């Protein structure tokens, strides 16, 4: 199993649209073959809003299929079309040690 953690900070003037899109993307990602679960959270830090997306995937192959390629760090799939509202983002992937042989 693969755990994907994506953090991003969003400009205050983009939060409303971003929040709506984030919820829709999470709902869509939950329907993808190989997706175990997907969650999104938000917190305000004053100058920006931080969002975190945590998802678990059955395999790297399932994650690659959902992301549309092998480069899982270049672009945050959740944010297509909303890049102008992002201040920054960070993506991390972890292999679940309890699910490996």
- Does 81 score more than 80 pLDDT? no
CA angle, corner 18, sides to 13 and 24, nearest 5?
Answer: 160
Share of residues in the chain with pLDDT > 90 (%): 30
Per the listing, tokens 């929040």 go with 19
Residue 7 within a domain? yes
Quote the domain boundaries for residue 52.
Answer: 2-75
Residue 87 within a domain? no
CA 37 → CA 21, 45, 49, 81, 88, distances in Å? 18, 26, 23, 24, 24
Total structural domains in the chain?
1
Residue 57 within a domain? yes
Residue 32 within a domain? yes
Residue 91 within a domain? no
Residue 90 within a domain? no
| CATH number of residue 35's parent domain | 3.30.70.100
Q: What is the pTM of this model?
A: 0.83
Residue 86 within a domain? no
More confidently predicted of 70 and 65 = 65
Report the distance separating Cα 65 and Cα 45, nearest Å: 34
What pLDDT, on the 0 to 100 scale, is given for residue 66?
81
Q: What is the pLDDT of residues 8-44, one digit of tens each?
A: 998 888 888 888 988 988 898 899 999 999 999 998 7
Residue 15 within a domain? yes
What pLDDT, on the 0 to 100 scale, is given for residue 74?
61
What average pLDDT does the segment 56-69 reach?
Answer: 85
């Amino acid at each position: 199993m693969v755990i994907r953690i994506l953090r991003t900070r969003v400009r205050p003037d983009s939060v409303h649209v971003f929040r709506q899109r984030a919820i829709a993307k999470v709902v869509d990602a939950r329907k993808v073959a190989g997706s175990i679960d997907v969650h999104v959270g938000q917190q305000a830090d004053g100058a920006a809003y931080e969002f975190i997306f945590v998802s678990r995937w059955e395999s790297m192959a399932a994650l690659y299929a959902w992301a549309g390629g092998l480069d899982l760090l270049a672009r945050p799939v959740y944010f297509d079309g909303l890049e102008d509202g992002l201040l920054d983002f960070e993506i991390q992937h972890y292999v679940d040690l309890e699910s490996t042989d």
